Amino acid sequence: MVRALPVFLFSFLLSITCLQAQTSSEPLVNQYLEQAKNLMYEGKYQDANVVFRKMLALNTTLPEDMSYLFAETLYHLGQHKNSQNFLTKYLTLTGRAGSYYEPALELQELLDVAMRAVTNCRFCNGAGFRLVDCTTCNQEGTLDKTCPNCQGHGRTQCQKCYGEGVLVSLNKLGTRQYATCDNCDGKGIHTCRVCVGTKVISSPCPTCLGSLKLRS
């Protein structure tokens, strides 16, 4: 009979497991942080944003400085509300002792200006952007193009009889014999399996990705 572990022992083992997982991910966290800082220094904020989100996906304890650096990155990408959230988190965690305290105050001033501009904007009603109709697909969400499988004919040649409708074979005497192609019923063609005879195929609009609207 298997005995259940006491609750305190189970909790102790669980805490050790979590600590080991956190320790094992620490080198990767530091690697990501340095990579993101270098990208920020080069002005590649979109790439830095990708790296920061990889850090968040690790689901582990992250350095306090990451909150400020991510906030600065988001500010440069125009994501002011998200930037404010991470900046507030940084100042709450570190206060005046934070290594980025002075830059954080400067960033807060920039965010205050940006947020006021958004709040007072009569065009976007405080959203920071407007939705306009997609002109690429004319609000259809999809674009039609000629089917590449049948080249816009709606039909394809039978690959068994090569469009002849009959199959030719030699009997034992070496004489040719003919039979109706059982693959196309003697028609020599098939309805295109890709466009199902419509001659075109539809794909999501590459501009609005099927949403019909664009941010402006």
CATH code, residues 22-119: 1.25.40.10
> What is the distance between the terminal CA atoms of the chain, rounded to a whole angstrom?
67
Q: What is the pLDDT of residue 192?
A: 92
pLDDT, tens digit only, all 216 positions of the chain: 444 445 554 454 445 444 444 556 788 999 999 999 999 999 999 999 999 999 988 888 899 999 999 999 999 998 888 999 999 999 999 999 999 999 999 999 999 998 887 666 666 655 556 778 888 888 888 888 899 999 999 999 998 889 898 988 888 788 888 889 998 898 989 899 888 999 998 888 888 877 877 776
Give the pLDDT confidence score for residue 23 in this predicted structure.
53
Q: What is residue 54's three-state secondary structure? A: helix
What's the rounded Cα separation, in Å, for the pair 154 and 193?
9
Q: What is the pLDDT of residue 1?
A: 43
State how far the Cα of 148 lies from the Cα of 96, in Å rounded to an integer.
63
pLDDT, one tens digit per residue, over 181-198 is 998 898 989 899 888 999
- What's the pLDDT score for residue 14? 47
Task: List the one residue out of 91, 89, 73, 81 whose CA is nearest residue 111.
Answer: 81
Domain edges within the chain: 22-119
